[in-house]
Chain A
Amino acid sequence: MSVEIVSDLMRDYIYRLASGGQRTDGRALDEPRKLVIEKGLITTAEGSARVHLGKTEVLVGVKMATGEPYPDTPNTGVLSTSVELIPMASPTFEAGPPRPDAIELARVVDRGIRESKMVNVGRLCITPKEKVWVMFIDIHVLDYDGNLFDAASYGAVAALASTVVPAKAQGVGEDFPLPVEHWPVSVTVAKIKDLLLVDPSLDEERMARARLTATTDENGDIRAMQKGLSGSFSYDEVKRVIETSQKVGRGIRPLLQS
């Protein structure tokens, strides 16, 4: 996310390869890196998942707490998402309060989950207007090798899917799995000159002038989008990104569900 220099030699190499439809790690332009998800590693959390997207590694924990609902949604549970870009994950991350990068990342992941209605928040009400379940999604980036948007989103979705609501401990009934109803998949595309690359690696991401994340559901409908970086997309490119997102999403969704 922070600016680090990519040598001209590497830039030329990446672009030249990509112009011929290839990438430095052997992928096609519309091919994401290998995704490995392990659920339930953290027993102190109500749900958790560790995600490897290529060499990017993210650990997500879900903590469930009871709290007050928002006044305008008195009967629904609350979702809260935050990201920590801890200094161990990259030489470019610094300790301290979350910077705009981390805030944007958390909000885009949150948007995909919220707008897809992944979790039926209507079933997370304990006492209307007084007490509901609050889902705290905490995304810990452990190793940064590009495309945190998708890695964090997959981690959050997988962690939620593994979450058991600790109702018994709170004295409000029996424990139950979080009511998951939809499966949003975030797919991010980086634009390098005129080329669109799915799931950018670190070098690709640093070269990119623009980035577009589209989150689609199991029907291929769009639930969230976010354009980033200082470049631009033509409308045709935006449409291509969405079509790619739908296609790549279909391949990734089973991995999140399993």
Chain B
Amino acid sequence: MEDIEHIPKELKLIDENGVRLDGRRFDELRPIRIEAGVLGRADGSAYVEWGGNKVLAAVYGPREAHPRHLQDPARALVQCRYNMAPFSVSDRKRPGPDRRSVEISKVISEAFSSVIFKEQFPRTSVDIFIEVLQADAGTRCAGLTAAAVAIADAGVPMKDLVTSCASGKIGGVVCLDLNKDEDNFGEADCPMAIVPRTGEIVLLQMDGHLTYDEFQKAMGLSIDAAKRIYDLQRDALRRRYSTTVDEILREAAAAPAPSPAPAEVAFDSQLDDLGREGSP
């Protein structure tokens, strides 16, 4: 974003009809697919495909915090490591943390700190690992969205899921969910994360150039989109755990003395119990 001059003249990020390079309108998200419980060893995990982004999240804990001097006698630590695979970007990224990923790790752990019931697990650590396998702009939002599902999958009690999304400005138009080209050649990017049930904003960053009006438009788009992403997150968890319920029902049906199966499984009540499912 630091250099506008070298943008190829023919590259128009959004045309007269308001259609973007990938055919989206200003308020459209890229296709998002979320899957919960994709890894064997981790206490919780999730996989998110978001446009060209492919992101894995794993959660361990609450487990004993190491090194010990970091332990907090009153609550759990929430630690996050956001990492990009060397092959996830077009020019190979040197392995290991750089300054950007240190910052992103910090703001993501702070975002989850406000929703996890840390006081229930003194001296422990909830460790969140986010691996970007393929990057297409908006990786921190995809990673955060995946991590929220992974934390729920791990059964770590929290106020609500956290949902993340970015809006920015391309060709003078405020747009939702910028892709790689739009992010590189656009004028601003503003990622945020929100607790959908309470409306609390737990992550907010911005770079570029937005008037106050444009900022409010961008936030409006993101807040609206977060509701849709929240549904996808909940749906992923529902799918993950409804399979288990099906299996139980099948087993019950196969049992020699079948007890009458409940006529209808109330999925919502199953969801409420999710917090306890995989609890360590």
Listed in ascending order, the chain A residues whose CB lies under 8 Å from chain B are: 72-76, 79, 100, 103-104, 106-107, 111, 114-116, 121-122, 212, 214, 217, 219-235, 238-239, 242-243, 246
Contact = CB atoms under 8 A, between A and B. Distances in A.
A75 B212 contact: no
Given A224-B207, A232-B202, A115 B1 contact: yes
Interface in B193-249: 195, 199-212, 215-216, 219, 223
Interface of B: 1-3, 5-6, 78, 99-100, 102-103, 105-107, 110, 113-114, 190, 195, 199-212, 215-216, 219, 223
Given A122-B5, A235-B219, A239-B216, A227 B203 contact: yes
Contact of B99 (A74, A107, A212): A107
Contact of B195 (A76, A220, A232): A232
B231 to A, nearest CB: 20
Nearest to B78: A230
Q: Is the interface of B mostly helix, strand, loop or mixed?
A: mixed
Contact of A103 (B103, B195, B209, B223): B103
Contacts of A214: 206
Contacts of B200: 232-234
Contact of A238 (B2, B204, B208): B204
B103 A107 contact: yes
Contact of B3 (A75, A225, A239): A75
B2 A73 contact: yes
Contact of A104 (B106, B114, B195, B223): B106
Smallest CB-CB A-B distances: 8 pairs: A230-B113, A232-B200, A225-B206, A227-B204, A73-B3, A100-B106, A232-B202, A115-B207
Contacts of A79: 2
B153 to A, nearest CB: 22
B202 to A, nearest CB: 5
B78 to A, nearest CB: 8
A196 B199 CA distance: 18
A223 B209 contact: yes
Given A75-B5, A227-B205, A229-B110, A235 B199 contact: yes
B6 A75 contact: yes
Given A75-B3, A223-B209, A104 B103 contact: yes
A75 B7 CA distance: 13
Given A100-B103, A107-B103, A229-B110, 7 more contacts: A73-B2, A103-B106, A217-B209, A225-B206, A228-B107, A228-B110, A234-B199
10 contacts: A100-B105, A114-B207, A115-B207, A220-B212, A222-B211, A222-B212, A227-B107, A227-B203, A228-B107, A235-B199
Nearest to B200: A232
